[in-house]
Structure 1
Amino acid sequence: MSEYQLTLNDKRIAWGALLDVEPLIGSFNDDEDAIRKGTSTVLDWNLPSGIYRAKDAVIGLDKLLEAMLVQLGEPINSDPTVLLDSLQANLAVSGRESSLPLGPLAFEDWPGKELTGQAKRIGEQLVNWAREINSQKRALSQYGEETLEELEFRSHCYHHKLTPDAVAQVFGPSGGSRVMQLYNEYIHQFVLLRDALLPFSNWEEVPFEIKEHTEYKGLRFIEAARKAFLTQLLGRDLSHKSIVQYAQHVVCSDLSKAGYGFQYRLGTILPASLGVSALDAPRYLLKWHPVQTIKLDEAAELTAVSFEYAYEDYYAAPRSEAGSGTTEKADVLVLSDSSGLYAWQPSKARLSPHTDADRTKLNFIIEKDGREYAVDLGQMFRGHRFSYRPLGSENREISSDKLPRLSYHHAIDILSHPGLVTNTEGVHFIHTGTNELVSWAVLGKLYPENVILLDKADREELSAAHAAGKGYGAKFFVL
């Protein structure tokens, strides 16, 4: 297998072995069908066991909608627009029918803001697919009207609200209990699908397995994990670890512990910030990569691996003093190559796994003059999550004559210290030469407190940066 490579502008991050999962997608159990004989003489429905992506699940769920339309009968009573509009209202993040009304909560914390955006994007695309797929009438062509007419089962109610037009159609003269049960399951499965995909920035690409359960239909196997996850989200008590744990329940149930990412048999899940500029990267979302990070024996029972932090508790991690550096006045900062700060421009980083005492860690490694500089990948992500930006209410300008002196440090000096780098006092400026690989490595070495990410380091931004962060202790500016 070839090495997997992630592109970051003109830089590369390489690791593991590239996985080709495409032949597995949409490969379902030949002995199972979506519509099959139930426990009685009527026909039942389920998603066949196999490997899905989001759109594959939407195709499987469309069979329910097509059965409803057949059972509603006359075209005037079986217009899919009303039922699909009600689905759209359920998947919206605001409104009376919303199943997850995150919009009105107006989250200000990072996980709340990122997951609200995810819920909106995913819900809108799922409905677009649902409309597209229903227009193709695949199930009607596959099964015929007579079979779809016989589909019937009990769907336990989860109080999904319908639009008035949908209520009139489902409970009207051509509707009734059978149609309502199908529609309730249709809505609920879409809600589960949307919520299952919330942790993943590239949610359309994530492959997940659905197994045949006698007690669960389709995606209902995630209900317990989903309830715990949403309780934390709505209670504004959601941690990055909670998001990772939930993602593991969705794509892989083999892991009981959670770190900052994991590998399962269909790829690797890591924070979505990897491969993105630190200034623009999401802080809490995850991303699926088609790569086997840890080589596993095909015959081995181990099919999933958790990636854990080198420092479980960063507060207790060993620390080094950054030192005084070179002190200059902030307003005479000259961003030129004469200082030698930009001389180091690595174009490639690699991830290297290390397993010790049943714990698997990943190092982020860059090189200079034959020497490797390694930082813990988990600490790198942690440093990014805890960093500040000189924006919003923090963007208060300070006159240049009141700006404290900056201590300038070479990035390579910071990376050469053991443990996490901090200082007891002062404002410390680390220029990475606008090299994203170096910037990320520095974030993994600094003690994650009072670290402010800069974009231009002009006078206005420096002034706002001095007002950012916590009101005590040393500060580190990373450009």
Structure 2
Amino acid sequence: MQEYQLALKDKRIAWGKALDIEALIGKYRGDSFRQDVNAALDWNLPAGVYRAKEVVIELDKMLEAMLVQLGEPVNGDPTVLLDSLQANLAISGRVSSLPLGPLALEDKAGVEITAQAVRIGEQLVSWAREINAGKKAFAKYGPEALGKLEFRSHCYGHPLIPEAVAQVWGPFGGPRIMQIYNEYLHQFVLLRDALLPFANWEEVPFEVKEYTEFKGLRFLEPAREVFLTQLLGKKLTHKSIVQYAQSVVSSGLSKAGYGFQYRLGTVLPAGLGEPARTAAHYLLKWHPVHTIAADDEFAAVSFDYEYDDYYAAPRIETGKGTPVSKDAFPVTGEHYDEPSIARLLPNADTDRTTLRFSLEMEEGEFSVDLGQLFRGHRFLYRPQRSGDAGAALAKRNSLSWHLAADILSHSGLVTNTDGIHFIPTGGNELVLWALLGKQYPENVVLLDKGDEEELEAAYVSGKGFGAQFLVL
């Protein structure tokens, strides 16, 4: 069995059985063009495994058919139709299908999803322009066949830029062209929105089945409606993002944890394998690995938190640590060259599956719940000046530092009633991530360099009361 490994700077995270997905991509049972009972051509995605670009390739066939049917005045030039697609996938403007720009969402989840919408929309349009330039559908089917494409697009209608309105409804356009173009736009919107949860959205494989009641990606509409209602209502949670992602990849799972496995890989929070200081907090990432050994018929597994409610989890106090004075900060502590590798260890029983993030250090072997690790990352604070550092220090009666190994050796979640507790990691990202999974996620502040200016900002970051943990 080939083990899957993920690089994190000079460190590695290893687990599960690596999968070869490439052999499944683009192997479709049928063609996206097929004749209907009236001898016209219809369009639908054939059943198979897709990534985003493969869907765009199939959508281009509709665009090429429109260009043929619009005839000589357009002469195969897709510029106007693609410009309207670009405006539709933008996050602002009159014809935007997802106007997140004017909303200016400020919550972490909203900010990350907004940036995703921009990135994905821009790349999809770039692919659409690139693929259409090749005119492969024209070469494969010919103008006579493309001229027969006709179907009813059951949709409320997407607005167009004025130039596209003039072209689609002009002398050579009309309802037939409008129906095709409406479906073309709608399928792009569904594709963009389906990929919003995934940081590495270009790589995510998902299965499409042919339904008699759904065309292309329309089977995603019910889940998309719920997801966008939460996003636009500013009630988007990590769990709701996972729930939506499970629907997008047709996992078959109904309950949601913090991540999951499906037939084509494993989906976990995007922070895994990234530096904690810059990693996304709410996005997910697909990995080509089966974390839990399973055959294709039963590969879907939801990953649960060890503690469903972290507030009720057992807690243990750190102890006083090594006392230091304010002038002695920052302290460097230990330098952790090891560990160089962490492993994800599954624990599956009859009704739930948890994963452990395990490290081997000179002081022994330590492990934390992977779900709690991601939870700790979502809840951490960064130094941000918001008050009087001197007053914040006066509220806490002690300053101390702790070895990371000492913190990791405790059972339960580590906390304290008072004081400022400094925990150096020696620049080891694996140790840093493990600490985020071991500490009770309250008043944990992640530092960059621990200089005087940053420390003063850190003292007034977080909740402003109770024990504070500064991790460097």
Q: TM-score range by the shorter chain?
A: over 0.9
Residue 14 of structure 1 pairs with residue 14 of structure 2: yes
> How many Å apart are 1:314 and its aligned residue?
0.5
Give the residue type in structure 2 aligned to 1:412. A
Task: Find 1:283's aligned residue among 281, 284, 287.
Answer: 281
Task: Find 2:433's aligned residue among 435, 440, 453.
Answer: 440
**Paired residue for 1:292?**
290
Task: Find 2:314's aligned residue among 301, 313, 318.
Answer: 318
Kindly indicate whether the alpha-carbon contact (under 8 Å) linking 2:330 and 2:450 is maintained by their aligned counterparts in 1. Answer: no
Between the aligned partners of 2:460 and 2:350, the Cα distance in structure 1 is: 43
Residue 355 of structure 1 pairs with residue 351 of structure 2: no
Kindly indicate whether the alpha-carbon contact (under 8 Å) linking 1:110 and 1:283 is maintained by their aligned counterparts in 2. Answer: yes
Kindly indicate whether the alpha-carbon contact (under 8 Å) linking 1:365 and 1:372 is maintained by their aligned counterparts in 2. Answer: yes
Between the aligned partners of 2:225 and 2:113, the Cα distance in structure 1 is: 15
Between the aligned partners of 2:276 and 2:157, the Cα distance in structure 1 is: 41
Give the residue type in structure 2 aligned to 1:375. V
Q: Mapping of 1:215-294 within 5 angstroms?
A: 215-294=213-292
Give the residue type in structure 2 aligned to 1:90. N
TM-score by length of 1: 0.95
Between the aligned partners of 2:350 and 2:388, the Cα distance in structure 1 is: 50
In structure 2, the residue corresponding to 1:44 is in which secondary structure? strand
In structure 1, the residue corresponding to 2:402 is in which secondary structure? strand
Give the residue type in structure 1 aligned to 2:117. A
> How many Å apart are 1:79 and its aligned residue?
2.6
Task: Find 1:142's aligned residue among 135, 140, 143.
Answer: 140
Between the aligned partners of 1:68 and 1:317, the Cα distance in structure 2 is: 60
**Paired residue for 1:368?**
361
> How many Å apart are 1:370 and its aligned residue?
7.4
Give the residue type in structure 2 aligned to 1:116. T
Residue 86 of structure 1 pairs with residue 84 of structure 2: yes
> How many Å apart are 1:398 and its aligned residue?
2.9
**Paired residue for 2:373?**
380
In structure 1, the residue corresponding to 2:202 is in which secondary structure? coil
Between the aligned partners of 1:465 and 1:357, the Cα distance in structure 2 is: 44
% identity of equivalent residues = 67
Cα-to-partner distance string for 1:131-188 (whole Å, 9 max, x where unaligned): 0101111111111111111110000123311000000000000000000000000000
Between the aligned partners of 2:294 and 2:74, the Cα distance in structure 1 is: 57
Give the residue type in structure 2 aligned to 1:468. S
Kindly indicate whether the alpha-carbon contact (under 8 Å) linking 1:396 and 1:463 is maintained by their aligned counterparts in 2. Answer: no
Q: 4+ residue runs of structure 1 moved beyond 6 angstroms? A: none
Paired positions, count: 470
**Paired residue for 1:107?**
105
Task: Find 1:73's aligned residue among 71, 74, 79.
Answer: 71
**Paired residue for 1:398?**
389
Structure 1 pair 145–266 and aligned structure 2 pair: CA distance change class (3 A):
same
**Paired residue for 1:5?**
5
Cα-to-partner distance string for 1:107-139 (whole Å, 9 max, x where unaligned): 111100000000000000000000010111111
**Paired residue for 1:425?**
418
Give the residue type in structure 2 aligned to 1:106. A
Kindly indicate whether the alpha-carbon contact (under 8 Å) linking 2:363 and 2:405 is maintained by their aligned counterparts in 1. Answer: no
> How many Å apart are 1:103 and its aligned residue?
1.1
Q: Mapping of 1:447-462 within 5 angstroms?
A: 447-462=440-455
Give the residue type in structure 2 aligned to 1:417. H
**Paired residue for 2:115?**
117
Task: Find 1:55's aligned residue among 53, 56, 61.
Answer: 53
Between the aligned partners of 2:286 and 2:179, the Cα distance in structure 1 is: 35
Task: Find 1:127's aligned residue among 125, 128, 133.
Answer: 125
**Paired residue for 1:40?**
38
Cα-to-partner distance string for 1:215-244 (whole Å, 9 max, x where unaligned): 111100100000000000001100000000
**Paired residue for 1:345?**
338
> How many Å apart are 1:332 and its aligned residue?
1.5
> How many Å apart are 1:473 and its aligned residue?
1.7
Between the aligned partners of 1:410 and 1:162, the Cα distance in structure 2 is: 61
Kindly indicate whether the alpha-carbon contact (under 8 Å) linking 1:77 and 1:169 is maintained by their aligned counterparts in 2. Answer: no
Mark the runs of 5 or more structure 1 residues left unpaired by the alignment: none
Give the residue type in structure 1 aligned to 2:24. L
Task: Find 2:190's aligned residue among 185, 189, 192.
Answer: 192
Kindly indicate whether the alpha-carbon contact (under 8 Å) linking 2:392 and 2:464 is maintained by their aligned counterparts in 1. Answer: no
Give the residue type in structure 2 aligned to 1:304. A
Kindly indicate whether the alpha-carbon contact (under 8 Å) linking 1:86 and 1:163 is maintained by their aligned counterparts in 2. Answer: yes
Between the aligned partners of 1:271 and 1:460, the Cα distance in structure 2 is: 32
Once the two structures are overlaid, the 10-residue window that deviates more, 101-110 or 227-236, is 101-110
Between the aligned partners of 1:344 and 1:70, the Cα distance in structure 2 is: 63
Cα-to-partner distance string for 1:373-412 (whole Å, 9 max, x where unaligned): 0100000000000001013xx4556359966542211111
